[in-house]
Structure 1
């Protein structure tokens, strides 16, 4: 895959967290009926998920799956498992109700998998932080 900069993973972490947090806030609000509960869960997740997502991105550097669609699908599933568990636990702690935590966690499984897959596909097209793609693109323009 070539050299991947830490800046790329930080940028992916931030963009995904913005999308993911908005999704969690909306789902939590709809399920609990309370916008402030949605905000509390979303803000708590912002911290935990940024750390977990960054670690997930770094771990995937050592995974040898070259087919981009297969790679993105597997990354989607592994991340969703980690993310859903985090959401369930945080929602349970914040609401005090394990059933509410499960409802919020399971509701976001589908929305987040779709959003994450689209996020991965978008970032696959972005050269930011990929030295090898930048050099290849530059070489094509000069030849």
Structure 2
């Protein structure tokens, strides 16, 4: 199960990063009015967010195993993961936006604007992945 779960978490990391980066690019462009700034911020976060997301997935996997080694899933778990990931992701976006634009207020605006869009997108991403068995030997119902 260990190797399979790592493959699953890697696949989830990649798919979420695609969705998340596109959202960041669009929001950054809208807030700064400059598509190149949006692109710079979006591309800057690809690596940091993939690393952070992978470790977030590993932590949640380890704290949510039943005694039989079967992953327990629920809407409450997805909501909790959404909020914890959004906290980590927003801080990362704020810092990167500040570094790219040189303006802490712009970093704050971009980070805060992501709160709603990213939480909705992340929750939907979790629900889709919950229905996919890739990387799972068994699932608790």
- TM-score when scaled to structure 2? 0.90
1:98 and 2:104 correspond? yes
Counterparts of 1:117 and 1:64, CA distance in 2: 17
CA RMSD of aligned residues (A): 1.6
Give the equivalent residue in structure 2 for 1:86: 92
Give the equivalent residue in structure 1 for 2:31: 31
Q: 5+ residue gaps in structure 1?
A: 137-143
1:77 and 2:77 correspond? no
Structure with more helix by fraction: 1
Counterparts of 1:40 and 1:60, CA distance in 2: 30
Give how far 1:63 is off: 1.9
Give how far 1:67 is off: 5.2
Counterparts of 1:60 and 1:67, CA distance in 2: 11
Give the equivalent residue in structure 1 for 2:53: 53
Structure 1 runs of 4+ aligned residues shifted over 3 Å read: 64-67
SS at match of 1:131: coil
Counterparts of 2:7 and 2:46, CA distance in 1: 19
Give the equivalent residue in structure 2 for 1:132: 138
Counterparts of 1:129 and 1:123, CA distance in 2: 11
Give the equivalent residue in structure 2 for 1:110: 116
Aligned length: 133
Between Structure 1 and Structure 2, whose CA radius of gyration is higher? 1
1:56-115 Cα distance to aligned partner (Å, 9 max, x none): 000111223845100000000000000000000000000000000000000000000000
Counterparts of 2:61 and 2:125, CA distance in 1: 17
Give how far 1:132 is off: 1.5
